[in-house]
Structure 1
Amino acid sequence: MNSNLGQSGSSGKWQMLVAMILSGTIGLFVMASGQPAMTVVLLRCLIGGLSLLALLYWQGGWQNLNVEQVTWLMLGAAALIINWLCLFSAYRLSSISIATVVYHVQPFFLLILLAMTQRDGQIWRKLPFLLLAFAGVLLSSGLDIRHDFLRSADGHVTQALAGAGLALLAALLYAFATLATRKLQGIAPAQIASVQLLLGAVVLAPMADLSGWNWHWQSWGSLLLLGLVHTGLMYKLMYDAFQKLPAASIATLSFIYPLVALLVDVLFFATVLSGWQLLGMAMILLAVLANQRDWHLVSTRPALNVETGGET
């Protein structure tokens, strides 16, 4: 039994790692598509959702859900969709840099929600490394909070604060969507993701403006990759990992996403990193490594092993 749990956790880590790497490269293909953000998200949902539905049909993996499972699925879908809308609004009201940094408090929200629902005090042992990773995000973003707030939204600080608040709400909703997915143990990740993505497409369709559609092959190619790989495959991997991994691992591995996004800027958009940004990247890597190797900053009393009746 322990061997199976260990193998499941190991595969979950790799799935989460790949999902976060894919997530960090989304911006590259969004830029290559040349389409507005809302159009990109709509087509991501539509292509990704349909591809997962086709995979599910081919595998014969569709499962009938009970009332409780349907409830969690719908709550997760609603949280995910509203999360997108809040985050897009935050980009407009403040700035992408401010919204992105604020949004990355979501691992802390996830940790709090899961600690409350699972009543697992051991989760908090990982908090110092999450704080280290978040500090790394702040440094690596190159964000000058005073300067960016004053120049964002035509200098209206109130709007910038409203944008930061929406990004904070988006982070909380994303954490809740993760929790909802964890409640759907035994349900194929492709089924969960396909339903949520297609519901997202239905909600977002009236908001997208397709009048300026670019039919160039680069747009189509980028959007197909975003839909099939960066949405369909990514969500399947991510939701599978959500069901396998403990809360602390999910939270810490989430910081791989901003790290990869910054590397994409360096490799493809000629971004030059400062010493502080390099330090921030190193802090993120250190935090991820510390979590995966289960390091502790302070010694703790040995915990009782429920399965063996001994100490761990």
Structure 2
Amino acid sequence: MGVIRGRERGDGRWRRLLDRPWAVAALAALGPAAWGTTYVTTTELLPPDRPLAVSALRALPAGLLLLAFTRRLPRGRWWMRATVLGLLNFGAFFPLLFYGAYRLPGGVASTVGALSPLLVAGLGVVVLRARPGPGTLLAALLGLSGVALLVLRADAALDAAGMAAMLSATSLMALAVVLAKRWGRPPGVSLLALTGWQLTVGGLVLAPLALLVEGAPPAPTAGHVAGYVYLGLIGTVLAYALWFRGIERLPASSMSFLGLANPVVASFAGLVLLGQSLTGWQLLGLTLVLLGVLWGQRASQRPRVIPESAPSSPPEREETGASGARATVAP
């Protein structure tokens, strides 16, 4: 009995440790960090010029695997919500992201993506009725400046269609963060099940689109299989499960700052795996990004809520998520 109780106390301490805000943020940041390796994985292992096929093969098998593992389907209003979130996070986001990436230099695309904290702050005012403090906005500008120094080149060419696609993709991702924060998840449904719903919806949209636009994929090689397995299990299932866990437990603005880990890891991946180098300005940009992320995490812990014009009835349990009343959550 003593051994069992000791194990239970140890498990309880680990759970409490992992539930602390800094631990939740650190685990959630593994999602954008894993996404930062997508470019290297795609260019080095996967077939070229197949963005839609890669997206579909990344989302659909992972979603079906999670559905088979969790054996849980949406009910009631969650059919609509899972569809909306699946389209925002995968079905619409992936094609726009790849379209922008093909038409813009990587630095321009990453800089547009770094607008996410500002977009989340604006959407949070409308959807969550939570007003960001000045510290959050300043941290967002600091992170944006750091990303621009880290990845933006002086000779970067701007393409109107590519800019529109990247801005649309970033806006959809920001909206997905805010809506996921507002809706939470249905009682008794695991994060893996919720992730599987969204991946399956996105994959079902992307698969026929890929066949229509790009045709049948080429015969897979060992490198292709390794790349798809890595992107599916690490870059999708694990990364998005940790990301959605963070959305559930942290303010939305805090999550948007963690997304800045993406260009940082992408730069380091190019440095280590592709033999690239960092200039002094890029090192300064890296420092500013890290300061922006840390400052943004600190500023996000003190939400400023817009008062309601009239008292309203308490929200339903499934509307609040894990953090309680939705009106008290910072964007």
* TM category, shorter: 0.7 to 0.9
Correspondence 1:48 to 2:62: yes
The alpha-carbon deviation at position 96 of structure 1 amounts to 3.4
Q: Which runs of 5+ in 2 are unaligned?
A: 1-14, 305-331
Count of aligned positions: 279
Q: Which residue of 1 aligns with 2:143?
A: 133
Separation in 2 of the partners of 1:253 and 1:111? 14
Q: Is the CA contact (8 Å cut-off) linking 1:49 and 1:197 kept in structure 2?
A: yes
Q: Which residue of 2 aligns with 1:105?
A: 115
Q: TM-score, with normalisation over the residues of structure 1?
A: 0.81
Q: Is the CA contact (8 Å cut-off) linking 2:181 and 2:252 kept in structure 1?
A: no
Overall identity of the aligned pairs, in %: 25
The alpha-carbon deviation at position 194 of structure 1 amounts to 1.3
Poorly superposed stretches of 4+, deviation over 4 Å: 3-6, 293-296
Correspondence 1:239 to 2:244: yes
What letter corresponds to residue 143 of structure 1 in structure 2? R
What letter corresponds to residue 184 of structure 2 in structure 1? Q
The alpha-carbon deviation at position 47 of structure 1 amounts to 2.3
Q: Which residue of 2 aligns with 1:172?
A: 171
The alpha-carbon deviation at position 112 of structure 1 amounts to 1.2
Q: TM-score, with normalisation over the residues of structure 2?
A: 0.76
Q: Is the CA contact (8 Å cut-off) linking 1:72 and 1:183 kept in structure 2?
A: no
Q: Which residue of 1 aligns with 2:196?
A: 194
**For each residue in 1:146-194, what CA deviation from the matched residue of structure 2 results, as whole angstroms up to 9, or x when unmatched?**
x322xxxxxxx6xx12211121111111111112222332443222221
Q: Which residue of 1 aligns with 2:27?
A: 15
What letter corresponds to residue 105 of structure 1 in structure 2? L
The alpha-carbon deviation at position 222 of structure 1 amounts to 1.3
**For each residue in 1:68-117, what CA deviation from the matched residue of structure 2 results, as whole angstroms up to 9, or x when unmatched?**
x3333222222232222222222333333322321221221112111332
Q: Which residue of 1 aligns with 2:326?
A: none
Equivalences for residues 276-295 of structure 1 within 5 A: 276-294=281-299
Correspondence 1:89 to 2:103: no
Correspondence 1:260 to 2:265: yes
DSSP-derived class of the 2:183 partner: coil
Correspondence 1:39 to 2:38: no
Separation in 1 of the partners of 2:191 and 2:52? 25
Cα distance, 1:112–1:53 mapped onto 2, change above 3 Å: same
Separation in 1 of the partners of 2:128 and 2:145? 27
What letter corresponds to residue 48 of structure 1 in structure 2? A
Separation in 2 of the partners of 1:66 and 1:212? 36
What letter corresponds to residue 87 of structure 1 in structure 2? L
Q: Is the CA contact (8 Å cut-off) linking 1:86 and 1:170 kept in structure 2?
A: yes
Separation in 2 of the partners of 1:294 and 1:110? 14
Q: Which runs of 5+ in 1 are unaligned?
A: 150-156, 302-312
